Structure 1
Amino acid sequence: MLLYEHPLSSYAQKVKIALREKGLDFQVETPAGQGLGTATGAFAAASPRKEVPVLMDGEARVFDSTIILEYLEDRYPSPPLLPRNPIARAEARMIEDVCDTLYEAVNWGVSEVRWYRRAEGDLAAAMMATAARQTAELQAWLTASLGERPWFSGEAFGWADVSVAPYLNRSFYNGLGTPPDSPLTRWLERARERPSVAATFAEAEAAAAGMASAAERMASGAVKREYRDHRLEWMMKSGGVQIVLDGLAKGNIRFTWPLG
């Protein structure tokens, strides 16, 4: 089993946690050219969008983190990640959707400002303040969804927990975590104690150490950031309209397949 990924991708982290929770052996590979959208070979053949993660399992070629989780649940049902109750299953999927779209967009936007330095001075400060407000609102929603339960679906760590962990952990890394005594902080502490989560987060932390040169690599043309759906929406509504226009002019942003 081979997973094409990048350690800093929250989507890939989600899949790696699920694979480890299910006790599955897998290898990982970061595709060459993935950061420019120019990847070729088996990865590009399996993923027309040329986005990680992509799972290669025997004859199966599966892209998109949600579809990969669904495939794993169908192909390797034990231990299950989705609860059996239909309402609880729907709740887990809704939590995943919010994290994969709205939460991911905020975290991504913070990276654009901090790592890639697309905004500086007053604009950077204003965009970071907006991201902080949005993050707090998302975290309040997640706190209400968690309630008094140890895990999002009850007594067992599962689908929703796998989905929340990468995004909340990134917030803490960005200095936008919840207070130490909050239910969400205590939940994250429990999650980090799981070997599946600890290993995945350690890989992300090691990769983050190499992001000090991110802005320089983008300026050199080594990286083109992908502006897709919810990410583009975040920029447009959070003060980044000129950033998008500048990125188009400089050719350091890209869009997903099919291209124009």
Structure 2
Amino acid sequence: MVVAVNKRSVMTLFCDTTDIYGHQIRFVLAEKGVTAEIEFVDAKHLPQELLDLNPYGSIPTLIDRDLTLYEAHIALEYLDERFPHPPLMPVYPIVRANSRLTMYRMRKEWYKAYHTIIDAPKSEAAKEARKLLQDDLTAISVMFKEKPFFMSDDFTLADCYFAPLLWRLPILDVTLPKVAQKHYLSYMTRIFERPAFIESLTDDEKKMRA
């Protein structure tokens, strides 16, 4: 068996310019102040170097020395543990477990809806996905009156999951009721004006809210 070897000495993230999971990782890298090379690639024409290191030929892929991570949520937790300051996961086990469950539900429900809309925006499935997002985001909007961040008094990894999705609502054609928009306004301002979030945006992502 031939084992592929990473020849790069600097942490490298392979992603494209609009992928929501790559955005998550870039956001965490910026929050941590981690120096990394960002290689923007076409998902349909991946470089051989990446194909040699990632058995699934997928992006985003984070490479750190001899480690290759091709699942975004694993990459995010790895970065939080590898670079512990500032910490983005709760300290207490029960709170940490609840945070992981929250992010899991985002992936299973909201991110699934996101991909349904992106893959076939005019389909009946996309219409249902838009309604699910609108209803769910409206239902939880009131919690932002009580906490400055996502179910927390502190900025956490859950915000790094949630913010890229909120940023993309205009391109998903998802419009929240005015009452919900009012609840989200201060939160979105707080997150979207963070220097790390601004740094994480690609030119293509900036156009999503131009």
The TM-score bracket by the shorter chain reads 0.7 to 0.9
1:38-187 equivalences in 2 (<5 Å): 39-114=46-121, 119=122, 124=123, 126-140=124-138, 142-143=140-141, 148-182=146-180, 183-187=183-187
Alpha-carbon distance in 2 for matches of 1:164, 1:140:
14
**How much does 1:6 deviate?**
1.3
Q: Which structure 1 residue ranges, 5 or more long, are not aligned?
A: 210-260
**How much does 1:130 deviate?**
1.4
**How much does 1:187 deviate?**
1.5
Partner letter of residue 195 of structure 1? Answer: P
Q: Show CA shifts across 1:144-185 (max 9, x none).
A: 665611012522211100011111221233231434553234
Partner letter of residue 152 of structure 2? Answer: G
Residues 208 and 190 (structure 1), Cα distance of their counterparts in 2 relative to 1, 3 Å cut? closer
Question: Is 1:12 aligned to residue 22 of structure 2?
Answer: yes
Q: In the alignment, is the contact (CA less than 8 A) between 1:15 and 1:65 conserved in 2?
A: yes
Q: Show CA shifts across 1:221-240 (max 9, x none).
A: xxxxxxxxxxxxxxxxxxxx
Q: In the alignment, is the contact (CA less than 8 A) between 1:88 and 1:153 conserved in 2?
A: no
**How much does 1:206 deviate?**
5.2
Give the length in aligned residue pairs. 197
Partner in structure 2 of residue 198 of structure 1: 198
Partner letter of residue 171 of structure 2? Answer: Y
Partner letter of residue 18 of structure 1? Answer: V
Identical counterparts, % of pairs: 23
Q: In the alignment, is the contact (CA less than 8 A) between 2:21 and 2:72 conserved in 1?
A: yes
Calculate the TM-score normalised by the size of structure 2.
Answer: 0.81
Calculate the TM-score normalised by the size of structure 1.
Answer: 0.67
CA RMSD of aligned residues (A): 2.5
Where do 4+ consecutive residues of structure 1 move more than 4 Å?
144-147, 206-209
Partner letter of residue 105 of structure 1? Answer: K
Q: In the alignment, is the contact (CA less than 8 A) between 1:16 and 1:200 conserved in 2?
A: yes
Partner in structure 2 of residue 28 of structure 1: 38
Q: Which structure 2 residue ranges, 5 or more long, are not aligned?
A: 1-10
Alpha-carbon distance in 1 for matches of 2:53, 2:207:
25
**How much does 1:4 deviate?**
0.4
Deviates more, 1:75-84 or 1:184-193: 184-193
**How much does 1:24 deviate?**
0.6
**How much does 1:141 deviate?**
5.3
Q: In the alignment, is the contact (CA less than 8 A) between 2:171 and 2:208 conserved in 1?
A: no
